């Protein structure tokens, strides 16, 4: 909770900062989610009810109340991406990661999610991993992208 | 048919895009930046508002409300503090022009906001950027910092009595936050659910104070209007729609991207002249205008001009300016189902017509896609859509069925074939 307290100090205790506090903190965690204890802590620090914190993390799609992978792979499936072959990208991702949409790999490295339009329809089909965008995808490009993140993860572990 | 150069003509808000380093305020100043602000500071508030009113600038976020009229409402209000908000929550599938503006010319947006704030006597502004837009958030933050260092933001701007500062607020993944009141709720740190209108934000917005909300593209037009004058702005475009419009062109088209075009260009020219046509010369199945909440039109309607009045006369809208091309390989109902899945997911749940309507529409569409629709389903679908349009609490629910209604009108045979057991092969799970 030290990190969470730091973020609250930096952002300020006004309840208008709640979304930013939660976003910053969730980004700083390998598990990419907000736990029950953390909700209690934030509510206590900002002097608001826990339900108020839950109203945020259950409303906005970037938050999760369940642990997710270190790298969240968000796949856009809206029309501009769909008509440029996003379904094949999804199939290939599910193949390589051996998980279905919405699941996390057993080693906790990747979570596969659908996302609404990422605003990069000019390079569709597109995905977002963490804060990086990848566009003009074909099934052939997926393996390389995934293994580069695996390498990154293993290097950090060492 | 016009040539590409004839179409693009004279860039108003993309003139610097790609030519300057977005991280360099010096580049922006060298290219004539912040000159309009200096000019505005020597004008009265009323003069600035009158110039905008004379320019006929209309909101570029989709609603098309006259910007000058909105400014005048705020100007005449004696309630303080007043707030300024830039709506950069570009979540409508098919739109990416605000992102393009923020990533390529962030200071133009900031300058537009400062000019607006000066004319309204506003001291605090927000840019609300959707949470998924990491790069624009970073670029805008740096640009705001640079503008502060140069004295364009902060206390006593350029030695005048006027003080103004901008704060960036990020969304966290909710399409509804593009709706003005949902956005205000989100800025206040709450879940983004709309409030009842009236009163409109110009009367009671952030913390119930007068709030002016404009889209990124709308603000970006302000420096040109002040610097070059309303008359020059009106000389571009058509009598009912002055200036230029950014178009986000995507889908099955060779040259996808953002194009700035004067109003009055046809959708066909946008697709074939700027977009270079359809890959492998395939035929167009349909084109969706404006984004997910916009109308779907068949190929034979592509000669319609991008113009507020002409589109209104045909019962169409241009929304934020997306043009999504879908080629003949795709089935109309499949695409409509995908669009409605988006709305089912993004409905905030506050009002029944939208929360339940989107779910029911999707269920009925599935019956059509699988060839199991009954004779009543067509009437039922139309009825639910109309109820949503007329009774939903906010613009999301009111416009969500647009794709269904327009495809029922222009692609009726596709619906009828879903009733005659000619099932289609849907890949959507």
Q: Is B339 on the interface with A (CB under 8 A)?
A: yes
Query: How is residue B238 written in tokens?
Result: 């058509």
Query: How far is the C-alpha of B229 from the C-alpha of B242, rounded, in Å?
Result: 13
- What pLDDT, on a 0 to 100 scale, did the predictor assign at position B422? 47
Binning pLDDT at 50, 70 and 90, where does residue B428 land? very low
Question: Are B172 and A120 in contact (CB < 8 Å)?
Answer: no
Q: Is A87 on the interface with B (CB under 8 A)?
A: yes
Mean pLDDT of A34-56: 97
Question: Are A116 and B172 in contact (CB < 8 Å)?
Answer: no
List, as ranges, residues 105-134 from B with C-beta within 8 Å of A.
130-134
Q: Is the pLDDT of residue B3 over 80?
A: no
Q: Is the pLDDT of residue B148 over 90?
A: yes
For chain A, the distance separating the N- and C-terminal CA atoms, rounded to the nearest angstrom, is 25
Q: Is the pLDDT of residue B425 over 50?
A: no
- What pLDDT, on a 0 to 100 scale, did the predictor assign at position B427? 46
Mean pLDDT of A114-120: 92
In the DSSP assignment, the letter for residue B285 is: E
Q: Is the pLDDT of residue B187 over 50?
A: yes
- What pLDDT, on a 0 to 100 scale, did the predictor assign at position B304? 96
3-state secondary structure of B244: strand
Question: Are A82 and B172 in contact (CB < 8 Å)?
Answer: no
- What pLDDT, on a 0 to 100 scale, did the predictor assign at position B5? 62
State how far residue B120 is from chain A, nearest Cα, in angstroms.
Answer: 24
Query: How far is the C-alpha of B93 from the C-alpha of B96, rounded, in Å?
Result: 8
Question: Are A117 and B94 in contact (CB < 8 Å)?
Answer: yes
Q: Is the pLDDT of residue A90 over 60?
A: yes
Count of other CB atoms within 10 angstroms of residue B35: 14
- What pLDDT, on a 0 to 100 scale, did the predictor assign at position B420? 62
Mean pLDDT of B307-315: 93
Binning pLDDT at 50, 70 and 90, where does residue B146 land? very high
Query: How far is the C-alpha of B358 from the C-alpha of B396, rounded, in Å?
Result: 11
Question: Among residues B119, B112, B48, which one has the least CA distance to residue B86?
Answer: B112
State the best of A11, A17, A19 to mutate against chain B, taking most chain B CBs within 10 Å: A19
User: Which residue of A20, A87, A122 is in closest CB contact with B427?
Assistant: A87
- Per-residue model confidence as pLDDT tens digits over B262-273: 999 999 999 999
Query: How far is the C-alpha of B124 from the C-alpha of B85, rounded, in Å?
Result: 9
Q: Is A3 on the interface with B (CB under 8 A)?
A: no
Q: Sign of dihedral through CA atoms B78, B84, B89, B92?
A: positive
Q: Is the pLDDT of residue B4 over 80?
A: no
**In the predicted model, what is the mean pLDDT of chain B?**
94
Binning pLDDT at 50, 70 and 90, where does residue B379 land? very high
Whether the bond between B364 and the residue before it is cis, its omega within 30 degrees of 0, is no
Query: How far is the C-alpha of B364 from the C-alpha of B225, rounded, in Å?
Result: 48
Query: How far is the C-alpha of A118 from the C-alpha of B13, rounded, in Å?
Result: 23
Question: Among residues B412, B392, B408, which one has the least CA distance to residue B400?
Answer: B392
Residues sharing a CB contact under 8 Å with residue B253, sequence separation 6 or more, in sequence order:
B271, B275, B276, B277, B278, B279, B325
Nearest CA in chain B to A23: B172
Whether the bond between B198 and the residue before it is cis, its omega within 30 degrees of 0, is yes
- What pLDDT, on a 0 to 100 scale, did the predictor assign at position A156? 82
């Amino acid at each position: 909770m030290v990190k969470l307290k730091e973020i609250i100090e930096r952002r300020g205790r006004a309840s208008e900062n709640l979304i930013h506090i939660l976003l910053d903190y969730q980004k700083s965690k390998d598990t990419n989610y907000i736990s029950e204890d953390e909700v209690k802590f934030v509510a206590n620090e900002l002097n608001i009810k826990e339900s108020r914190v839950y109203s945020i993390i259950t409303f906005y799609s970037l938050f999760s109340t369940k642990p997710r992978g270190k790298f969240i792979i968000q796949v856009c499936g809206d029309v501009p991406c769909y008509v440029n072959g996003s379904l094949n990208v999804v199939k290939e991702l599910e193949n390589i990661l051996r998980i279905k949409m919405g699941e996390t790999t057993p080693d906790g490295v990747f979570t596969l999610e659908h996302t609404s339009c990422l605003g990069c329809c000019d390079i569709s089909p597109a995905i977002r991993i963490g804060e990086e965008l990848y566009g003009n995808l074909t099934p052939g490009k997926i393996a390389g992208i995934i293994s580069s993140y695996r390498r990154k993860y293993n290097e950090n572990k060492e | 048919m016009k040539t590409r150069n004839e179409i693009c003509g004279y860039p108003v808000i993309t003139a610097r895009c790609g030519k300057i380093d977005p991280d360099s305020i010096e580049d922006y100043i060298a290219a004539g930046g912040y000159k309009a602000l200096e000019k505005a500071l020597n004008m009265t508030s009323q003069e600035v508002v009158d110039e905008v009113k004379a320019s006929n600038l209309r909101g570029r976020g989709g609603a098309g409300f006259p910007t000058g009229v909105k400014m005048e409402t705020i100007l005449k209000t004696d309630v303080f503090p007043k707030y300024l908000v830039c709506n950069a929550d570009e979540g409508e599938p098919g739109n990416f022009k605000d992102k393009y503006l923020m990533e390529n010319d962030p200071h133009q947006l900031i300058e537009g906001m400062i000019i607006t704030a000066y004319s309204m006597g506003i001291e605090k502004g927000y840019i609300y950027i959707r949470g998924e837009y990491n790069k624009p958030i970073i670029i805008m933050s740096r640009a705001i910092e640079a503008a502060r260092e140069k004295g364009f933001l902060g206390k006593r701007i350029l030695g005048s009595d006027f003080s103004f500062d901008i704060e960036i607020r990020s969304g966290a993944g909710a399409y509804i936050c593009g709706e003005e009141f949902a956005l205000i709720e989100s800025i206040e740190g709450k879940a983004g659910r709309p409030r009842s209108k009236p009163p409109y934000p110009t009367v009671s917005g952030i913390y119930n104070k007068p709030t002016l909300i404009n889209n990124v593209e709308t603000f970006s037009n302000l420096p040109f209007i002040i610097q070059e004058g309303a008359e020059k702005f009106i000389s571009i475009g058509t009598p009912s729609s002055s200036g230029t419009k950014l178009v986000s062109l995507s889908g099955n088209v060779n040259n996808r991207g953002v194009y700035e075009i004067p109003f009055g260009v046809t959708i066909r020219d946008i697709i074939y002249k700027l977009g270079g046509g359809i890959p492998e010369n395939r035929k167009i199945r349909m084109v969706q205008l404006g984004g997910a909440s916009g109308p779907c039109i068949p190929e034979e309607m592509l000669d319609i001009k991008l113009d507020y009045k002409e589109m209104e006369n045909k019962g169409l809208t241009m929304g934020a300016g997306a043009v999504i091309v879908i080629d003949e390989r795709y089935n109309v109902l499949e695409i409509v189902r995908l669009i409605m899945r988006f709305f089912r997911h993004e409905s905030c749940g506050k009002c029944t017509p939208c929360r339940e309507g989107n779910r029911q529409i999707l269920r009925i569409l599935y019956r059509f896609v699988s060839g199991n629709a009954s004779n009543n389903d067509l009437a039922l679908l139309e009825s639910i859509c109309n109820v949503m349009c007329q009774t939903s609490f906010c613009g999301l629910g009111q416009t969500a069925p647009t794709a269904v209604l327009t495809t029922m009108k222009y692609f009726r045979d596709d619906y009828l074939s879903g009733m005659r057991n000619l099932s289609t092969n849907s890949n959507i799970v």
